A and B are shown apart, each in its own frame.
Chain A
Amino acid sequence: MSDIVRGDPSTYPDWFSRKKSTTPLIVSRWVPAILVGIPVFVLLAIVIYPTVWMFYHSLRDTNIQGLFMGNHEYIGFQNYATVVGSERFQDSLVHLAQYLTFGACLQVIIGTALALTLYEFVKSNAARTVILIILVLPMMLPPSIVGVLWRFLLTPSNGAVNQALLSLGLIDAHIEWFNAGVSLWSIIIADCWNWVALPLLIVYSGRVSLPPAVYEAARVDGANQWKVMRRITLPMLKEVIAIAFILRFTDAFKFVDLVYVMTSGGPAQTSELPTYIAFQRGIREFAIGEAAAYAIIIFAISAVLITLFLKYMKRVMKAQGLA
Chain B
Amino acid sequence: MAHVALKNVNKIYGSGTRAVHAVQDLNLDVESGEFVALLGPSGCGKTSTLRMIVGLESISSGDIFFDDRRVSDLEPQDRNVAMAFETYALYPNFTVWENLAFPLEVRGVSEVEQRQRANEIAELLHITPILDQYPPNLSGGQQQRVSLGRALIRDPSVFILDEVMSHLDAHLKFQMLFDLKRLHRDLKRTMVYVTHDQVEALALADRVAVMSNAVLQQVGDRNTLYNRPANVFVADFIGEPPTNFFTVEPAQNGDSIKMIVTNADLTFALTEQTAAAVKVHGGNRFTVGIRPQNLHLDDKGDLQAEVLINEYLGERSILSVANSQAKFRALVSPDVTAGPHSSVRFSYDPADVLVFDEKTEALIV
Residues on A close to B: CB < 8 A? 211, 213-214, 216-224, 227, 231-232, 235-236, 238, 319-322
Q: Which one of B77, B80, B88, B93 lies within 8 Å of A219 (CB-CB)?
A: B77
Q: Is the CB of B54 within 8 A of A220?
A: yes
B98 CB to closest chain A CB (Å) equals 9
A227→B77 CA distance, assembly (Å): 12
Can you identify 29 A-B contacts, CB atoms within 8 angstroms? A211-B89, A213-B88, A213-B89, A214-B89, A214-B91, A216-B76, A216-B85, A217-B83, A217-B90, A217-B91, A218-B102, A219-B56, A219-B76, A220-B76, A220-B77, A221-B103, A222-B107, A223-B106, A224-B106, A231-B102, A232-B91, A236-B93, A238-B93, A319-B134, A320-B92, A320-B93, A321-B134, A321-B137, A322-B136
Given A217-B83, A220-B55, A221-B154, 15 other A-B contacts at CB below 8 A?
A213-B88, A213-B89, A214-B92, A216-B89, A217-B89, A217-B90, A219-B75, A220-B82, A221-B102, A221-B106, A222-B77, A223-B102, A320-B93, A321-B133, A321-B136
Measured between alpha carbons, how far is A319 from B134 in the docked complex, in Å?
A: 8
Per the CB 8 Å criterion, the residue count for chain B at the interface is 30
B263 within 8 A of A: no
A220 vs B135: C-alpha distance when bound (angstroms): 19
Give A217 to B83 CA distance when docked, in angstroms: 8
- Complexed CA–CA distance, A232 and B102 (Å): 11
* Per-residue A-contact encoding for B91-107, CB less than 8 Å = 1, 0 else: 11100000000110111
* B44 neighbours in A (Cβ, 8 Å): none
Whether the pair A221, B150 counts as a contact (CB closer than 8 A) is yes
**Best-surrounded residue of A218, A220, A227, A321 (most CB of chain B within 10 A):** A220
Q: Is the C-beta of B81 less than 8 angstroms from some C-beta in chain A?
A: yes
Query: Which chain A residues lie closer than 8 Å to B105 at the CB level?
Result: 231
Q: Which residues of B contact A320 (CB under 8 A)?
A: 92-93, 134, 136
| B residues near A222, Cβ cutoff 8 Å | 76-77, 80, 103, 106-107
Nearest chain B CB to A235's CB is how many angstroms away?
Answer: 4
Chain A residues lying within 8 Å of B81, measured Cβ to Cβ, are 220
Task: Give chain A residues whose Cβ lies under 8 Å from the Cβ of B102.
Answer: 218, 221, 223, 231
Bound CA–CA A217/B153 (angstroms): 14
Q: Kindly supply a per-residue 1/0 record for chain B positions 115-140, scoring 1 wherever the CB is within 8 Å of any chain A CB and 0 otherwise.
A: 00000000000000000011111000
- Verify if B87 is at the interface (C-beta below 8 Å from A): yes
**Complex Cα distance A313/B75, Å?**
37
- Per the 8 Å Cβ criterion, residues 159-216 of B in contact with A are none
Cβ contact within 8 Å between B91 and A220:
no
Task: Name the A residues within 8 Å of B77 (CB-CB).
Answer: 219-220, 222-224
Residues of A within 8 A of B154 (CB): 221
> Is the pair B85, A217 in contact by a Cβ cutoff of 8 Å?
yes
Nearest chain B CB to A129 CB, angstrom units: 22
Chain B residues near A224 (CB-CB < 8 A): 77, 106
Write the residues of chain B forming the contact surface with A, with a CB cutoff of 8 angstroms: 54-56, 75-77, 80-83, 85, 87-93, 102-103, 105-107, 133-137, 150, 154
Contact residues in B for A319 (Cβ distance below 8 Å): 134
B56 touches A235 (CB 8 A): no
Bound-state CA distance A223–B56 (Å) is 14
User: Would you give the shortest CB distance from B361 to chain A, in whole angstroms?
Assistant: 37
Q: How long is the Cα–Cα vector from A319 to B133 in the complex, in angstroms?
A: 9
- Point out the residues of chain B lying under 8 angstroms from A213, CB to CB: 85, 87-89
Structural contact, B83 and A220, CB atoms closer than 8 A: yes
CA distance A222 to B76 in the complex (A): 7
Whether A235 pairs with B89 at a CB distance below 8 angstroms is no
Distance between Cα atoms of A224 and B77 in the complex (Å):
8
Q: How far is the CA of A267 from the CA of B212 in the complex (A)?
A: 79
Complex interface: chain A residues within 8 A of B88 (CB): 213
Which A residues are CB-close (under 8 A) to B89?
211, 213-214, 216-217
| Assembled-state Cα–Cα distance A223/B90 (Å) | 14
Listed residue (A211, A227, A320) with the most chain B CB atoms within 10 angstroms of its CB:
A320
Nearest CB to that of B151 among chain A residues?
A220
With a cutoff of 8 Å between Cβ atoms, the chain B residues found around residue A227 in the complex are 106
Residues on A with C-beta less than 8 A from B150 are 217, 221
| B86 nearest CB neighbor, chain A only | A213
Which A residues are in CB contact (< 8 Å) with B133?
321
In the complex, A214 Cα to B136 Cα: how many Å? 13
Query: Complex formed: what's the CA distance from A227 to B105 in Å?
Result: 10
Bound CA–CA A143/B136 (angstroms)? 43
Taking CB atoms, residues of chain B closer than 8 Å to A238 are: 93
**Residues of the B chain whose Cβ atoms lie less than 8 Å from the Cβ of A236:** 92-93
Task: Determine the chain A residues whose CB is within 8 A of the CB of B83 once the complex forms.
Answer: 217, 220
Contact of B93 among A216, A221, A223, A232 (CB under 8 A): A232
Smallest CB separation, A156 vs chain B (Å): 48
A224 to B78, CA, bound (A): 11
Question: For the complex, what is the distance from the CA of A322 to the CA of B133, rounded to whole Å?
Answer: 12
Contacts of B137 in A (CB 8 A): 321
Task: Tell me the smallest distance from the CB of B17 to a CB of chain A, in Å.
Answer: 21
Closest to B88 in A: A213
- In angstroms, how far is the closest chain B Cβ from the Cβ of A234? 9
Residues of B within 8 A of A220 (CB): 54-56, 76-77, 81-83
Report Cα–Cα, A211/B89, bound state, in Å. 8
Say how far A226's CB is from chain B's closest CB, in angstroms.
Answer: 11
By beta carbon, the residue of chain B nearest A212 is B89
B87 / chain A contacts, CB cutoff of 8 Å = 213
Residues of A within 8 A of B134 (CB): 319-321
B251 to chain A, nearest CB (A): 58
Determine the distance from Cα of A39 to Cα of B135 in the docked complex, in whole angstroms.
40
Complex alpha-carbon distance, A256 and B197, angstroms? 67
Distance in angstroms between the alpha carbons of A224 and B87 in the assembled complex: 22
From B54, B87, B106, B107, name the one whose CB has the most chain A CB atoms within 10 angstroms.
B106
